[in-house]
Chain A
Amino acid sequence: MNKIISKSRLSDEVFRVEIEAPHIAKERKAGQFVIVQTDVEWGERVPLTIADADPHRGTITLIFQTVGVSTHRLAELNAGDSIEAVLGPLGNPTHIERFGRAVCVGGGIGVAPMFPIAQALKKAGNHLTVIVGARTRDLVILEEEMRAVADELIVVTDDGSYGRKALVTEPLKELCQSGARPDIVVAIGPPVMMKFCAETTRPFGVKTLASLNTIMIDGTGMCGGCRVSVGGKTRFVCVDGPEFDAHEVDWDGMMLRLRAYKPLEDEAHKALHESGQCRLTAMADAAKVAEDKAKAGGAV
């Protein structure tokens, strides 16, 4: 059982929880992830990346988006509640060294796992540029945290509601074309974004790593569900990854595999909302009412 110390809602669909996990907090390194289960009898094992850790407090921070039933259940928990199972840290840590110029590209929720990698790259003495991308203003996360660690921060949104109106690949391409060409690029985000980051840097021969978020069950090298073709060889994200050379990953194959259970998951997610069992909407409504009342100066 891992107790939730604090919880906040970063946007409609994105939540941050700090949980007690002393061993993981001590052992984890940038690039690693955990598997979370809110219900060990019937729940799913969900891989989530570690956004931050505090070994002194013995806590780790998870940032996640509510994409299905299990992340919904997780989002419904509050400070003081416990998550039944948290396993980790899993996967290989990011290889960190002084490359020279490093560029971190984080898209959407991918900005969360990028944060510790950005920190580590900066600490190793790299010149660090961070590109943060999101669909729209509300989905931009960790902007201030990234600004504090990066030498240069570029924020882009698809709809131009915040920062520059562009896809992350546009500033990435400009950097590759500039005199200050990156020595390493790390991309984490939706698979299609990582694929196009890889295509952007490929002509420039810039080494590019991507952290893959495949389907996973055990996360310890047993089930093989996370397999992906890299450089023509089958590799396992949980024990060989999660980071791979983005130029070698079979992105189309990986994206197809990610959609294997999509119809079932969408159905379950929809059923959750229609059953009226989803408490998140109610929670958001209550928060809004409280906020409005506070603004109006009324007692809650």
Chain B
Amino acid sequence: MNGATGAEMASRAKESLAGLEGKDLTNRDRMALPVQDMPCQEAAERARNMDEVALGYTEAQARVEAARCLQCKNAPCVAGCPVSIDIPGFIGLVAKGDYRGAADVIRKTNLLPAICGRVCPQEKQCQAPCTLGKALKGVDKAVQIGRIERFVADRERAAGGAPMPRVAPPSGKKVAVIGAGPAGLTVAADVRREGHEVVIFEAFQKPGGVMVYGIPEFRLPKAIVREEAEKLERMGVRFELNTLVGRTRPLAALLQEDGFDAAFVGVGAGLPKFMDIPGENLVGVFSANEYLTRSNLMRAWDKERAVTPIYPSKRVAVLGGGNVAMDSARMALRLGADEVHVLYRRTREEMPARAEEVEHAIEEGIVFDFLASPTEVLGDGKGVVTGLRVMSYRLGEPDPSGRRSPVAIEGSEHDVPYDTVIVAVGNESNPLLAKTTPGLAVDKKGHVLVDANQKTALDGVWAGGDIVLGAATVILAMGEGRRAAAAINEYLKEN
């Protein structure tokens, strides 16, 4: 970040854009254009509110950023996108100011651009192989594809949203979608378009899955998720909330008694993993899932209105280096913590979190303790957390995969006071559906086994998202959902 305010960024972009008007840009011209930074809420201010951090590009910024794209013929970015968006295609239209056209191009393969533009790890996907980034020797100098995507999606939302997809006449077929997360919502849209009746079963009181219980408001406003669900409803998709398939109704009963011709299982990640160190069941230790569900889905951040309580924390340790760890740390800050540390066993380079989230966390004052991991949670003898015993690490030789693994430094253990510990080291798969559904084959870790078309071992049942992949991303779940939906539509044609 260069410290410029949003207004400065906007006016600079306006100047840059004025300089481009009517010009035939060479690749050299394009490469000389400055990367457009994302205007954000002031760090000190946003660290104490729940509003969205990134404010989105202005029109001029979007057009200048789009003008940076070299429009490579081989388009390596498209190969980096899990749903293969025609990236040069939509960016070319943005550069010309045809935002509706750009939205149409994105929507051909991505149904949730306002969400993906915000939460995709672009620097590991589309932006990683970007020719411009490679030429300028830095993935941070790549075309900011995600930000342009968000601009296009937000602009369309502001203009009343995407046109309703055409729904084919009723086919007489019925599909059950289990889980209203990114995979399930995608399947519902794609299957409904073919005229099939679609019912989405969701255990929680609101649709959205990880997008409502996990990802905080300050990173993904819930209004966007709600709009997507409402759009599905307008297409004729029915939601059955507070329904846990496998318990409220067995999966087999849906297919055999309730008249569903096919089902999609997108029940998401499950039980949180813990470190397996002494003291982890002390009061003041939370899984990130619990901490975030309380704050997001149950809205405990609004202490005036929400009934669900949130633990009052002053000194917080977050264990882990992924997006969920970043979300937890930044949420703890917003809920009133004085000091929040992220403990990660490796270094910043190895952190799996989205780069922008790490940057934002640092700007907000989150302290990163790299090469550190606890060996014990310390208590006060009355069952309440007082701190962590922390071991220091150094990076050892690269393993066969090329990743340098951390090596504990003997005798480095030291005690650090904390009143709250949030464990964000991943999830096991959700055991419930497999346990209550005979014949649904899972691997040793409990992930549902599927073929190349997302088909499970059960007839008429497909699966996708985290229940297949383990903890992955919104966009990968969507990609699996699209594949499954195509297979389901094909199957329903023949059966």
Contact = CB atoms under 8 A, between A and B. Distances in A.
A220 B203 contact: yes
B370 interface: no
B243 A256 contact: no
Given A42-B306, A85-B205, A253-B383, A220 B430 contact: yes
Nearest to A225: B290
Q: Tell me the interface secondary structure of chain B in the complex.
A: loop
A264 interface: yes
A192 to B, nearest CB: 15
B206 A40 contact: yes
Contacts, number: 123
Interface string A214-247: 0001101111110111000010100100000000
Interface residues of B, number: 47
B305 interface: yes
A260 B291 CA distance: 13
Contact of B242 (A41, A87, A221, A256): A87
Contacts of A264: 309, 312
A136 to B, nearest CB: 29
A24 B416 CA distance: 48
Contact of B248 (A45, A88, A257): A88
Interface string B325-341: 00000000000000000
Interface in B420-468: 430-432, 435
Contact of A257 (B283, B308, B382): B283
A220 B244 contact: yes
A225 B242 contact: no
Interface in B257-296: 268-272, 274, 280-284, 286-287, 289-290, 293-294
A259 interface: yes
Contact of A44 (B268, B308, B383): B308
A23 B298 contact: no
Contact of B271 (A221, A256, A260): A221
Interface in B299-325: 299, 302, 305-309, 311-312
A233 B243 CA distance: 30
B272 A86 contact: no
A58 interface: no
* Chain A interface SS verdict (over half): mixed
A85 B239 CA distance: 14
Interface string B20-35: 0000000000000000
B218 interface: no
B309 A265 contact: yes
B293 A44 contact: no
A138 B439 CA distance: 50
Interface string B379-394: 0001110000000000
Given A44-B307, A225-B286, A87 B431 contact: no
Contacts of B270: 221-222
A126 B203 CA distance: 36
A252 to B, nearest CB: 8
A89 interface: yes
Contacts of A222: 213, 268-272, 289, 293, 430
Contacts of B234: none
A169 B307 CA distance: 36
B249 interface: yes
B307 A69 contact: yes
Interface in A69-94: 69-70, 73, 84-90
Contacts of A225: 286-287, 290
Contacts of A43: 307-308
Contact of B309 (A73, A228, A268): A268
Nearest to A86: B242
B247 interface: yes
25 contacts: A23-B243, A37-B205, A40-B206, A41-B299, A44-B298, A44-B307, A70-B307, A86-B242, A87-B243, A88-B244, A89-B247, A217-B293, A217-B298, A220-B203, A220-B432, A222-B293, A222-B430, A223-B287, A223-B290, A228-B281, A239-B435, A257-B281, A260-B284, A261-B309, A268-B309
Given A42-B307, A88-B248, A222-B293, 6 more contacts: A23-B248, A89-B247, A218-B204, A221-B430, A223-B287, A234-B281
Interface of A: 23-24, 27, 37, 39-45, 69-70, 73, 84-90, 217-218, 220-225, 227-229, 234, 236, 239, 250, 252-253, 256-257, 259-261, 264-265, 268
